[in-house]
């Protein structure tokens, strides 16, 4: 068949990222000279800056010519520092040979879906979810099973709903492989309690499922509650911990993530082998960024100063924005406990809009306010807004939402 007919494989219908879907419209508006109030992208660097001590280390690596291919699973020294971090923060003993460096967590997600998914298999995601995960499962012919987070309980997982969804999937013949946790959560800003995580571990163990925990925001905690790493609770149960330099260290453009597979069961050993094979096919992750990562993780004093600055600003902005959103008729918003997002619910029956996609498109076109539709994260009639811009910009974002709610 000619190349021009049916050019793309059928799986490409799942290759979609809603967070950037309004970029073309935003670019058109910018060309007119109008200002856009952007609360769509979860990138702390433009607003709160990178960690300068890490940038200095990155610049030195470049100056020293450290731009060669590094080890496919990751630079030894960087892997050792990642291991030490888990010991320092969570008293976990993780051998560096069980850690893999990836080009951001996006590559980690792809590697895991490629390794674990095929036709007949599936994965359980808590809904709402970060919108890379469901497409990744589908791209490799997997089935997505959604377990609902309870908005009225601060977006907590439901043990009963999780067990019910797993049973239904199994009864339908789906060979489930893993349960995904995002903690702290993107898009909701929630954080799982220790009890909720214990319930997930118990359910995973009873159903012979792998647990994958995305903990990219694990040090961005806005409340006095303690963050629980899944590794503290899941010893003896197959699990994966994912993290990276993007958020806690303000290094989104470094594209450095990591995957920890700590257990020694046969499945975990095979998965480590599979990830190593995939890593060799793409040669290596960013070498100078890994060298900078050594300094990022080793210089604990500088990191704590940077983190204190980040959290102070994010907490102030999150508190302002949550209060302001809850003042808008037809809008309700849960408190953020971690990360830098809010996920307000909008009562579309009080508007002229049929869904949140239409609402967000008109919000950008008319009010020049750029947020992301909740349906892109699996939950309609919601918006995801970051709380990274300064308060005066967040005020304009909230005002734009209020203006459109009145239409």
Which tens digit of pLDDT belongs to each residue from 329-348? 999 999 999 999 999 999 99
Q: Do domains 10-49+303-405 and 66-299 have the same CATH topology?
A: no
Structure tokens belonging to residue 17: 């990222």
Domain ranges of the chain: 10-49+303-405, 66-299
Report the relative pairing of strands 369-370 and 345-346 from DSSP bridges.
unpaired
Over range 292-307, report the average pLDDT.
Answer: 98
Does position 129 have pLDDT exceeding 70, yes or no? yes
DSSP state of 184: S
Predicted confidence at residue 3, as pLDDT, reads: 76
328 SS3 class: coil
pLDDT in tens, 53-63: 999 999 999 99
Residues 6+ apart with CB under 8 A from 260: 82, 86, 94, 98, 99, 231, 240, 241, 242, 243
Assessment of whether the complete model's pTM goes beyond 0.75:
yes
Please compute the mean of the pLDDT values over residues 71-95 and round it to a whole number.
98
Beta bridge partners of 135: none
pLDDT of residue 394: 98
% the chain with pLDDT above 70: 100
Beta strands in 107-256 (DSSP E): 121-127, 143-150, 156-157, 175-182, 210-214, 239-244
**Confidence class of residue 6 from pLDDT cuts 50, 70 and 90?**
confident
Hey, what CATH class is 10-49+303-405 in? alpha beta
Mean model confidence pLDDT for the chain: 97
Strands 331-332 and 345-346: antiparallel
pLDDT at 312 over 70: yes
At a CB cut-off of 8 Å and minimum separation 6, what does 171 contact?
Answer: none
Q: What is the CATH number of domain 66-299?
A: 3.40.640.10
pLDDT at 125: 98
Give the pLDDT confidence score for residue 353 in this predicted structure: 96
CB 36 within 8 A of CB 364: yes
The pLDDT of residue 1: 64
- Separation of alpha carbons 379 and 151, rounded Å: 11
Q: Give dist(CA 58, CA 64) in Å, integer.
A: 10
pLDDT single digits (tens) 183-236: 999 999 999 999 999 999 999 999 999 999 999 999 999 999 999 999 999 999
Confidence of residue 407 (pLDDT cuts 50, 70, 90): confident
**What's the average model confidence in pLDDT over 374-378?**
97
Cα separation, 46 vs 44, in Å, equals: 6
């Amino acid at each position: 068949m000619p190349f021009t007919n049916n050019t793309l494989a059928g799986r490409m219908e799942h290759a979609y990222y809603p967070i950037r879907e309004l970029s073309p419209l935003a670019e058109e508006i910018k060309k007119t000279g109008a200002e856009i109030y952007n609360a769509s992208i979860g990138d702390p660097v433009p607003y709160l800056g990178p960690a300068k001590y890490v940038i200095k280390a990155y610049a030195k690596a470049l100056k020293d010519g450290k731009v060669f291919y590094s080890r496919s699973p990751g630079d030894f020294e960087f892997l050792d520092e990642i291991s030490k971090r888990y010991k320092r923060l969570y008293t976990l003993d993780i051998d560096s040979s069980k850690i893999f460096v990836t080009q951001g967590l996006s590559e980690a997600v792809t590697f895991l879906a490629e390794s674990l998914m095929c036709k007949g298999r599936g994965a359980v995601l808590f809904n709402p979810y970060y919108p890379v995960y469901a497409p990744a499962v589908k791209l490799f012919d997997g089935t997505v099973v959604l377990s609902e987070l309870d908005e009225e309980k601060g977006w907590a997982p439901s043990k009963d709903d999780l067990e019910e969804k797993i049973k239904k999937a199994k009864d339908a013949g789906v060979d489930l492989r893993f349960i995904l946790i995002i903690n702290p959560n993107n898009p909701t800003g929630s954080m799982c309690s220790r009890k909720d995580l214990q319930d997930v571990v118990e359910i995973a163990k009873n159903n012979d499922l792998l647990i994958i925990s995305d903990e990219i925001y694990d040090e961005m905690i806005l409340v006095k509650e303690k963050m629980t790493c899944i590794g503290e609770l899941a010893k003896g149960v197959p699990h994966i911990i994912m993290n990276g330099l993007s958020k806690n260290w303000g290094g989104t453009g470094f594209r450095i993530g990591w995957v920890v597979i700590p257990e020694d069961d046969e499945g975990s050993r095979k998965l480590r082998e599979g990830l190593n094979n995939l890593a060799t096919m793409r040669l290596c992750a960013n070498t100078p960024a890994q060298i900078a990562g050594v300094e990022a993780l080793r210089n604990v004093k500088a990191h704590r100063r940077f983190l204190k600055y980040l959290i102070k600003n994010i907490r102030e902005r999150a508190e302002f924005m949550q209060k302001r959103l809850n003042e808008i008729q037809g809008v309700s918003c849960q408190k953020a406990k971690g990360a830098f997002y809010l996920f307000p619910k909008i009562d579309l029956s009080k508007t002229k809009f049929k869904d949140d996609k239409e609402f967000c498109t008109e919000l950008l076109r008319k009010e020049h306010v750029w947020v992301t539709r909740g349906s892109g994260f699996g939950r309609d009639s919601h918006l995801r807004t970051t709380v990274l811009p300064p308060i005066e910009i967040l005020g304009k974002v909230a005002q734009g939402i209020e203006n459109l709610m009145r239409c």
